[in-house]
Amino acid sequence: MSLYLKPEHVLQGGYCNATLRKLQEPNTSIQTHNVMYPVFLLENDDAIQPVSSMPNVYRYGVNQLIPALADLVKKGLESILVFGIIETLPKDANGSHADSDSNPVMRALPKLKAAFPGLVVACDVCLCPYTSHGHCGVLQPTGVIDHAASVKRIAEVALSYAMSGADIVAPSDMMDNRIKAIKEALFSTNLGNKVSVLSYSCKFASSMYGPFRETMKSAPLAGDRKCYQLPPGAAGLAARAAARDVAEGADLLMVKPGLPYLDIVRQTKDLHPHHPLFVYQVSGEYAMISRSGDNNEMETTLMEMLLCMRRAGADCIITYFAPLVLDIISKRTAH
Ligand code: PB1
């Protein structure tokens, strides 16, 4: 049997050393600006509470968050995504405390910006942590989403966070047309040129949000979010949602969850190459990876997953592993 070997079929010469392998993996490096750290902010400024389902993740009062962030900023942390949690403030049908003066995010923003002027502070904008029914929007008496009221309320909350110092507002509610409403609110208050809108443009009705919902106490009391989060199989809707948000003025796009939706990451990047694309490695992904082996095995698995997200087109990865990734980046840089 003749050996079917032609010189042009030998590829191994192209990646036979570390330098060539780096050249074969363009746009996959993980640097500090490629990572955004989601943080949970409590009403009680001095509290710190571990999240049982997410090892090494905590819920912080602002007086505990600032020292925790100080260590991470020294290691190169460049951006955070803040989620407010209320426990004594009442939840109601319109999410009134989403942007009240008592809201922990509203109170913490000036302190965070004063403590870390160079840190990019994004705020998640949604009603579910603040509504008595647990949905991401306002409901009609029949229990279905009231689209107009939801968009109006989401834009109000986004503007409140922007006026309190947020660098990025990130509406995770998935209501149609909220991007247009938020951009108009920022424009009319002369904030459109200093506050970015990060749209959760391609966010799917995933089963991987459980640890987050438990931590935030933000699960819907009745029904589910399938009428406003995208069906997991709907690549076409994801393309249409991203196109709509781009047309409405989104500055930054997102795909969420991450690993199971890398085809959507690639699709979104190919369709919108000039918009920075964020990928959210959600709480369920975090929980899975955290249990994937001993620390070394877990770190290797984690970095491979982040590399795959970057290869698929992610420019920034929102990950609860951010503190660990910063340490890994430091170790890699030191060698
Ligand atoms: O890590 C996570 O699971 C993120 C969950 C995510 C936060 N933006 C949303 C998912 C959900 O509970 O439906 C919260 C919705 N506003």
Report pLDDT digits (tens) over 160-207. Answer: 999 999 999 999 999 999 999 999 999 999 999 999 999 999 999 999
Rounded CA-CA distance 215/117 in Å is 28
Residue nearest to atom 14 of ligand 1 (CA): 172
pLDDT of residue 177: 98
Atom of ligand 1 nearest to the CA of 219: 12
User: Is ligand 1 within 6 A of the CB of residue 281?
Assistant: no
Q: Span 150-163, mean pLDDT?
A: 98
Q: Is the peptide bond before 257 cis (omega within 30 degrees of 0)?
A: yes
CA of 93 to the centre of ligand 1 (A): 19
Rounded CA-CA distance 158/289 in Å is 32
Residue 1 in this model has a pLDDT that exceeds 90: no
Task: Determine what percent of the chain is predicted with pLDDT higher than 90.
Answer: 93
Residue nearest to atom 10 of ligand 1 (CA): 209
Rounded CA-CA distance 287/289 in Å is 6
Catalytic residue among 74, 256, 269, 331: 256
User: Is ligand 1 within 6 A of the CB of residue 283?
Assistant: yes
User: Is ligand 1 within 6 A of the CB of residue 285?
Assistant: no
Q: Span 52-74, mean pLDDT?
A: 97
Query: Which of the two residues, 154 and 294, has the higher pLDDT score?
Result: 154
Counting ligand 1 atoms within 8 A of each CB, the residue from 225, 282, 321 with the most, and so the one to mutate, is 282
- Which residue ranges make up each domain of the chain? 7-334
75 tagged catalytic: no
Q: Span 150-169, mean pLDDT?
A: 98
Closest CA to 166 of 198, 203, 127, 200: 198
pLDDT of residue 5: 80
Q: Span 139-152, mean pLDDT?
A: 97
Rounded CA-CA distance 277/253 in Å is 5
User: Is ligand 1 within 6 A of the CB of residue 319?
Assistant: no
Residue 3 in this model has a pLDDT that exceeds 80: no
Residue 290 in this model has a pLDDT that exceeds 90: yes
> Which of the four pLDDT bands, split at 50, 70 and 90, describes residue 4?
confident
Q: Report the CATH fold assignment for 7-334.
A: TIM Barrel (3.20.20)
CA of 124 to the centre of ligand 1 (A): 10
256 tagged catalytic: yes
Rounded CA-CA distance 312/167 in Å is 26
Residue 2 in this model has a pLDDT that exceeds 80: no
**pLDDT tens digits for range 247-280:** 999 999 999 999 999 999 999 999 999 999 999 9
CA of 308 to the centre of ligand 1 (A): 22
Q: C-alpha dihedral over 327, 329, 333, 335, to 10 degrees?
A: 70
pLDDT of residue 91: 98
Query: Which of the two residues, 114 and 10, has the higher pLDDT score?
Result: 114
Residue 209 in this model has a pLDDT that exceeds 90: yes
Residue nearest to atom 4 of ligand 1 (CA): 282
pLDDT of residue 175: 97
Q: Please give the mean pLDDT across all residues of the chain.
A: 96
CA of 223 to the centre of ligand 1 (A): 16
User: What contacts 256, CB < 8 A, 6 or more positions away?
Assistant: 200, 202, 203, 204, 206, 279, 280, 282, 318
Rounded CA-CA distance 165/161 in Å is 6
User: Is ligand 1 within 6 A of the CB of residue 136?
Assistant: yes
> Which of the four pLDDT bands, split at 50, 70 and 90, describes residue 100?
very high
**pLDDT tens digits for range 112-145:** 999 999 999 999 999 999 999 999 999 999 999 9
301 CB-contact burial (10 Å; exposed 0-12 / middle 13-18 / buried 19+): middle
